[in-house]
Structure 1
Amino acid sequence: MSNIPGALIAMSGGVDSTVAAYLMKQAGCRCMGATMRLYQNEDLGQSGFHTCCSAKDVEDAAEVAFQLDIPFEVVNYTEEFREKVIAKFIETYEAGGTPNPCIDCNRTMKFDKMLDFAREHGLDYVVTGHYARIEQDPATGRWLLKKALYTDKDQSYVLYVLTQDQLAHTKFPLGGMDKPSIRKIAEEQGFCNARKHDSQDICFVPDGDYVGFMERYTGKYYPDGDFLDVNGNVVGRHHGAVRYTCGQRKGLGLALGAPVYVCGKDMEKNTVTVGPESELFKTTLIAGDFNWISIPELTAPMRVKAKARYRQVEQPATAYPLENGLVKVVFDEPQRAITRGQAVVLYDGDVVVGGGTIL
C-alpha cells in the first residue's frame, strides 16, 4: 500500500468541492472523486433547479474529475437516502417540527457512507468543500471542529454531527479561504463550473414547496383546520398545520387588526395558534440526540454561545446536563422562534462544543 495519503473527494458538481479536489491533488494526495446519487430527478417531478445531486451536477463532477485526471465514480445511495433523510424529514413535519435535512444527510450519508466507501478503496480521508476547519487538541487529543476563518460562509452549524472518528478522517481544504479566491482558482484552471450558482435549496424540494413534495411522496392530503388565538378562540382557517412554522408571519391570510405570527401547533387537533410577536420569545430549550465534539460529555453546567438556527448569530447561554443525555440550554436573553426539529449548536469561541436536536 502506498504511504502517500489517499483522499476521496465528495464531488457535488459545485465549485467548492471542485477546488477542494484541485487543492488535494496539488498537495500530492492520491485522489478519487465520487458523487452520491441520492434520488432521481424524475422521482421529484423536478429538473433544472439549483440543487446539489441533480443529473447536471453528476455531469459537472465527472467533467472536473476528467480535467483533474482522477478516477471518478457515482455511488447510488437512493434507498438509504429515502430511509434516513426523506422519511425523517416527513416524520418531523408531521410531528409539528421543522427538520434540517442537510444535517441528517451529513450525519448518515456524506461522512458515514462516504467514509466507508473511502476505506473500501484504500483511501484515508473524505474531503468536502465545506467551510469549516478541523484541528486536533494537543492537550486532550480530541479532534475539534472550528468555524471557517471567513465567518460569512461558515458551515460548522450543519457539521456538529461529526464523530471523533469522522473528524480524524475528514479534510476541509476551504476552511481558511473566501469565496472570491475559490472562484478565481476555478477560473484560472478553466473548470466548467467556475461561475456556477451555489445550491440554496433542500436538494429534493428544489421549488421550495415541501408540502407539495410530501403529498406527492406519501400520497397523503394534509387537511385544512382552525387558526386559534392564544386564548384558544377560532380566528380563521388554515390549509394544513404542516404548512406553517414557528415565527411565520407571511402567507397566513388573516386580517386581525395587528400582525400575528405562528406561535404553536397541535398536530393531533390540526390547529395552528397565532399571536403577537412577543409570544415568540423564549429563554429555554431542551435538546436531545446530542453529539459532543470538544468534550466527551457534559457533566456540569457550562457557559457557551449557542445558536438555534443556521442564520442566527450565536448568543450567550448556559448548558445544563439533564437525565438520559438531554441538555437544557438557557439563553441570557430571550430568543425569537426557537423551533422544534432544528439544531442547537454550542460554541466556545470558534470551537464547536457539540450540538443536538431541539425537542
Structure 2
Amino acid sequence: MALDGNLNSLGLAKAPEDTRVVVAMSGGVDSSVVAAELAREGYDVVGVTLQLYDHGAALAKKGACCAGIDIHDARRVAEEMGFPHYVLDYENIFKDAVIDEFADSYLAGATPVPCIRCNERVKFKDLLQTAKDLDADCMATGHYIQRKLGDTGAPELHMAADPNRDQSYFLFSTTPEQLSFLRFPLGHLVSKAETRALANKHGLAVADKPDSQDICFVPDGNYASVIEKLRPGAAEPGQIVHADGRVLGEHRGVIHYTIGQRRGLGIGGQDEPLYVVKLDVDAHKVVVGPKEMLATRTVPVREINWLGDEPFTSRPEWRLSVKLRSTRPPREAVIRPLSDTTAEVELVAPEEGVSPGQACVFYANEGSRVFGGGWIWRGY
C-alpha cells in the first residue's frame, strides 16, 4: 500500500520492481512473512540468512535462531516465493562480536544481553553493509518495532503496535544512519496471529513454526554450561555471604548467579527470604541480603545511543521513561547527561534488581517513541 502518490510501501520514490530489498531471514515465521509479502508486492527481494555458529551441532536444538533447520526453512521460503537466497558464514564475526563478550561479561559479574549486541554489531552493521554492497535500496527485518517519519522528515524509532511483541528494548542501539536504511514491515501489526495468518495466506511451511526461545547459542537457557565451555576453569567455587558478613554456605561459581536471584541459592533455613544483591567476582563471593537491598534509584549508563531531535547534551536533564529489563514496563526517570555517551539516570520510584550488563532504554513518557538508551555499567 503506497504512502502517497510518489512513494512505494517502503517509503521510497521508486516502483516496487525497481526497488531492491535485502530481507534478513532467520528461518522463522516473522522474517519469512516479510520476505513473502514484499515479493508478492513485486519488490526485487534478496533473502539473506546468517550462519552464526556451527549449524551441524545446532540441528538438534529446537527454537534456535539461525540453526541448521532454520537455514533450510529460509531457503525453502525463498524457493516457494521465487526470489534468490544466500547463506553467509558469520561464525567468526558472531564469536568475536557477541559470544566472547557474553562470556567475559558473565565472568565479570554482569548480566549481558547478547541479542542487543547481535543486532548492533552483526545484523545492523556487517549485514547492513552487505545489503548496501548488493545495491539494495533498503534492508527489511521481521522485528516488531516501528519506523516512523517525524515532523522534520527524519526517521524515528517507535514501539511496536502490539506491546506483547514489542522488541524496542533489543533495538535501542540502532543509529539514525542505520534507521534511514532499515524497514520493519511487521511493526504495525496488533498480534502475532496476524503474522501467522499472512504466512498461511502465502502457503508458507513455517506458518505454524514455534517462536524461537532463549539465546540462540545457549541450549535450554543454561548460561553457566556455555561459559564453562568457552572459559574453562571459570566456575571457581567460593562463599555465599550475608551482607552483614556472615558466611552462609558455599557456591559452585559466581557465573551460576545473577543479581536479584532468590531460588536455587542452596542456603535454606534462613529467618528471612534472601536475594543475591552483589557478585564479588574478585573475591569469588556471592553476597545475599533482604529484598530491600535490591532497590536503587540511581543508575549509571554508558555507551548511549541517542535518538532525540536535539543533541543529548543540549539540556541538563531529560524527563523520560526508562526500561531496565526487557520484561519490565518503562518507569519515569530523570536522565542527566554527563557526556555525549554517558549519563546518570535517577528513577522517580526505586526499582529492584538493577544489574550491570543490562540495557537502560529511553522512552517518551507519552506515546510510543524510543529515544535510544545505553548500558548499565556498575552494580549497587
Confirm or deny a common fold (TM above 0.5): yes
Output the CA distance in 1 between the equivalents of 2:232 and 2:293: 35
1:174 maps onto 2:190 in alignment: no
Aligned pairs for 1:97-116 (under 5 A) are 97-116=110-129
Matched, 1:6 2:24: no
The one-letter amino acid of 1:213's match is V
Residues 49 and 206 in structure 1, CA contact (< 8 A), matched pair in contact too: no
- Shift of residue 324 of structure 1? 6.6
- 1:5-42 Cα distance to aligned partner (Å, 9 max, x none): 21101000100001111222233321000100010045
How far apart are 1:159 and its partner, in Å?
A: 0.6
| 141, 164, 168: which one aligns with 1:152 | 164
CA spacing shift, 1:163–1:214, aligned 2, 3 Å: same
What displacement does 1:43 show? Answer: 5.8
1:247 touches 1:263 (CA, 8 Å); kept in 2?
yes
**Unpaired runs of 5+ in structure 1?**
none
Equivalent residue for 1:95? 108
Q: Give the conservation status (yes or no) of the 8 Å contact 2:313–2:340.
A: no
Moved more, 234-243 or 31-40: 234-243
1:219 aligned residue (227, 232, 243) = 232
Question: Which of 316, 328, 335 matches 2:344?
Answer: 328
> Which one of the candidate residues 65, 69, 73 is aligned to 1:60?
73
Contact in 1 for aligned 2:313/2:339 (Cα 8 Å): no
In structure 2, the residue corresponding to 1:151 is in which secondary structure? coil
In structure 2, what is the Cα distance between the partners aligned to 1:153 and 1:30?
28
| Residue 91 (structure 1) shift | 1.1
Segments of structure 2 that go 5 or more residues without pairing to the other structure are 1-13
- Name 1:357's counterpart in structure 2: 375
Quick check: 1:142–1:294 contact (8 Å CA) kept in 2? no
Contact conserved, 2:259 with 2:353, CA < 8 A, in 1?
Answer: yes
Q: Corresponding residue for 2:45?
A: 31
1:76 and 2:89 equivalent? yes
Mean Cα deviation higher: 335-344 or 116-125: 116-125
- Aligned pairs (5 A) from 1:199-238: 199-238=212-251
Is the counterpart of residue 299 in structure 1 residue 314 in structure 2? yes
Determine the C-alpha separation between the residues in 2 that align with 1:42 and 1:59.
Answer: 12
| Preserved CA contact (<8 Å) 1:294 1:351 | no
Q: Structure 1 residue runs of 4+, over 4 Å off?
A: none
1:285 aligns with 2:303: no
* Whole-Å separation in 2 of the counterparts to 1:310 and 1:187: 30
The amino acid of 2:374's aligned partner reads G
Does the CA contact (< 8 Å) of 2:107 and 2:234 recur in 1? no
Between stretches 283-292 and 205-214, larger displacement belongs to 205-214
Distance in 2, Cα, partners of 1:125 & 1:74: 19
Corresponding position: 1:314 with 2:326: no
Distance 2:161 2:260 in 1: 31
Sort the Cα spacing of 1:323 and 1:114 in 2 relative to 1 into closer, same or farther, 3 A. closer
TM superposition shift of 1:323? 4.1
Please, what is the CA RMSD of the aligned residues?
Answer: 1.5
Indicate if the aligned counterparts of 1:23 and 1:173 stay in contact, CA closer than 8 A.
no
Of 64, 74, 81, the residue aligned with 1:51 is 64
Tell me how far apart the structure 1 counterparts of residues 81 and 168 of structure 2 sit (CA, whole Å). Answer: 28
Contact residue 230 and residue 275 of structure 1 kept, 8 A: yes
Cα distance, 1:149 vs. partner?
0.9
Contact 2:105 2:112 in 1 (8 A): yes
Distance 1:312 1:66 in 2: 40
Go from structure 1 to structure 2 and tell me whether the alpha carbon gap of 1:316 and 1:103 turns closer, same or farther (over 3 Å shift): same
Query: 1:185, CA displacement in angstroms?
Result: 1.3
Map of 1:132-147 to 2, 5 A cutoff?
132-139=145-152, 141-147=153-159
1:136 Cα deviation after fit: 2.2
What is the aligned-residue identity percentage? 36
- Paired residue type of 1:21: A
User: Is the CA contact (8 Å cut-off) linking 1:114 and 1:126 kept in structure 2?
Assistant: no
Tell me if the contact between 1:143 and 1:294 (Cα under 8 Å) persists in the aligned partners: no
Query: What displacement does 1:309 show?
Result: 0.5
If the length of structure 2 is used for normalisation, what is the TM-score? 0.91
> Secondary structure of the equivalent of 2:351?
strand
Residue 305 of structure 2 contacts residue 341 of structure 2 at CA under 8 Å; is this kept in 1?
no
Residues 206-233 of structure 1 show CA distances to partners (whole Å, capped at 9, x for unaligned) of: 2211111111122234111001111122
Q: Which letter does structure 1 place at the counterpart of 2:53?
A: Y
Shift of 1:75: 0.6
Do the aligned partners of 2:33 and 2:198 also contact (CA within 8 Å) in 1? yes
Deviation at 1:297, TM superposition (A): 2.1
Name the aligned partner's letter for residue 87 of structure 1: D
Residue 135 of structure 1: CA displacement?
Answer: 1.5
Structure 1 residues 174-227: Cα deviation after superposition (integer angstroms, max 9, x where no partner):
001121011111122221111111011100002211111111122234111001
Cα deviation for residue 325 of structure 1 reads 2.8
> Which residue in the other structure is 2:8 paired with?
none
Matched, 1:243 2:256: yes
